Structure 1
Amino acid sequence: MMMYTWYIQAVLFTTIFATLLHSGYSQEGDDWNYLVLTLSWPPTYCSKVECKLPPRMNDFNIHGLWPSVWPGKQPTNCSAHPNFDIDKLWDIRGQLDSEWVNLKDYQNPIPFWEHEWYKHGQCATEDSLISDELGYFNTSLILRDKIDLLNTLNTYGIQPANNQLLGRIELLNTLRQAYNARVLVTCQKTPKYERRRRHHHRHNQLALLSEVRFCFNPQLELIDCPMQEEDNNTECPLWIEFPEFN
């Protein structure tokens, strides 16, 4: 009898804990629980892809604002919304051109924005604080400016530098201290990394800082990103490089 009682208590505790954890990300009526603002570092992206950047670009770039289902899946049943209409973005077009750049060709950003709208933006508009196309893109810009990532890293003594190593743990701890939230980082493996991996020198594996991801609840408040299993293609090793713009 005692063993049965202990079992019931354990099941109840697990259920309650999971419910409380999930409730931190959820909002009734939405097909998603939280938003991920993904900021990419152009020098890393352009190390493997031919890019055409704006002449004075020197900061993190918006990749997207992604509605997500806890703990890390994409929603699949969003309502239908109007087609992408560039004219609706007229009032924020200048800021989009400088902060949400098509890195492959900065002079042709519309296909990139259109892609993000259809893949993520239409789902995000289920949040009444976003509500429509202009709201989606404007909210992304506001959150990016609020995060002010590059200046924040500089304040903590972390700056882009070629051929210098940055500890992954140091970076994650700095982000936690700066934003009081769990922030995710992804990396892009380098040929140097692959060679060393094959020789099993794991302590010397190198990769380039690729993206930094911030999580927000439907009220657009910064929250801890959920813990996720690391993706072998994007996980960051113990030491990474934060390359400079050319």
Structure 2
Amino acid sequence: MGYGRKISLALGHNSLTSLRGQLEIDWPNLNDQSLNGQFWEAQWNKHGTCSLNNFKQLQYFSLAIGIKNKLDILRMLENAGIRPNATVTYNYIDIVRAIKAEIGPFEPELYCGMPHNNVVLLLEVRVCRDAMGATYISCVNNNNSCQGYLINIPE
């Protein structure tokens, strides 16, 4: 969605530095936290630039952290009897229904690791908001790598 327009994050040179500690807690690169800066820059270039007319970088990242902290995905899943467990698996549609029970009829995106014996590991849940960050919308990519598999949710 960044339309090819890349803008760098100046974490050491502007007010975004004030959010670095919070970003490290709430939005780390789970693959390699030493690459957090590159990860956040990629998130900004892919998603944040879509709302550039509405938000500066600091506002975008503050809004993202606020939304993340209000949206308790694990609680949503637990309310539906879906709990992280190394040996229990769940159906894709049951996980989606649990999320939709909270956010409404909007389609989330689920991303899973490679299947092994028809079971995949849930890696990421995405819910989408409008460009102002005000309301949920269906995620448009609908690139759900979990569909059709039994899903394990890591502890």
**Residue in structure 2 matched with residue 217 of structure 1 by the alignment:** 130
Using the TM superposition, give the Cα deviation of residue 107 of structure 1 relative to its aligned residue in structure 2, in angstroms.
Answer: 4.1
Q: Secondary structure at the match of 1:161?
A: coil
Q: Structure 1: state its 5+ residue gaps.
A: 1-73, 193-204
1:243 aligns with 2:148: no
Larger deviation, residues 217-226 vs 136-145 = 217-226
Matches within 5 A, 1:44-63: none
Contact 1:181/1:223 (8 A) holds in 2: no
Please show how residues 106-121 of structure 1 align to structure 2 within 5 Å. 106-121=33-48
Structure 1 position 157, deviation (Å)? 2.5
Deviation of 1:141 (Å) = 0.5
CA–CA separation in structure 2 for the residues paired with 1:124 and 1:145: 20
The equivalences for 1:11-50 within 5 A come to none
- What's the CA shift for 1:238? 4.4
2: distance between equivalents of 1:139 and 1:221?
A: 10
The CA deviation string for residues 141-190 of structure 1, in whole angstroms up to 9 with x for no partner, is: 01111212123322332211001111212111111112213222222223
**Are 2:98 and 1:187 aligned?**
no
How does 1:94-173 map onto structure 2 within 5 Å?
Answer: 94-126=21-53, 128=54, 131-173=55-97
With normalisation by structure 1, the TM-score equals 0.54
Deviations 1:215-245, CA, capped at 9 Å, x for gaps: 21123233341565656xx24224211122x
CA distance in 2, matches of 1:237, 1:187: 11
What is the SS of the residue equivalent to 2:87?
A: strand
The equivalent residue for 1:29 is: none
Counterpart contact for 2:84–2:153, Cα < 8 Å: yes
How far apart are the structure 1 equivalents of 2:31 and 2:49?
Answer: 24
> Hey, what's the Cα distance between the residues in 2 that align with 1:215 and 1:149?
13
Instruction: Say whether the 8 Å CA contact 2:130–2:137 is kept in structure 1.
Output: no
Residue identity (%): 25
Distance 1:114 1:229, change over 3 A: closer
Contact 1:168 1:236 in 2 (8 A): yes
Q: Kindly indicate whether the alpha-carbon contact (under 8 Å) linking 1:163 and 1:241 is maintained by their aligned counterparts in 2.
A: yes
| Paired amino acid for 2:77 | L
Equivalences, count: 152
Following the alignment from structure 1 to structure 2, what is the Cα–Cα distance between the partners of residues 144 and 91?
18
SS in 2 for 1:240: strand
Cα RMSD (Å)? 2.5
Q: Distance in 2 between matches of 1:119 and 1:153?
A: 27
Is residue 120–residue 149 contact of structure 2 (8 Å, CA) maintained in 1?
no
One-letter identity of the residue aligned with 1:188: G
- Amino acid in the other structure paired with 1:190: P
In the TM superposition, what is the alpha-carbon distance from 1:105 to its structure 2 partner?
2.8
Q: Contact 1:84–1:118 at 8 Å: present in 2 too? A: no
Q: Kindly tell me: are residues 133 and 188 of structure 1, through their superposed partners in 2, closer, same or farther at Cα, counting changes over 3 Å?
A: same
Q: What residue identity is the alignment partner of 1:206?
A: V
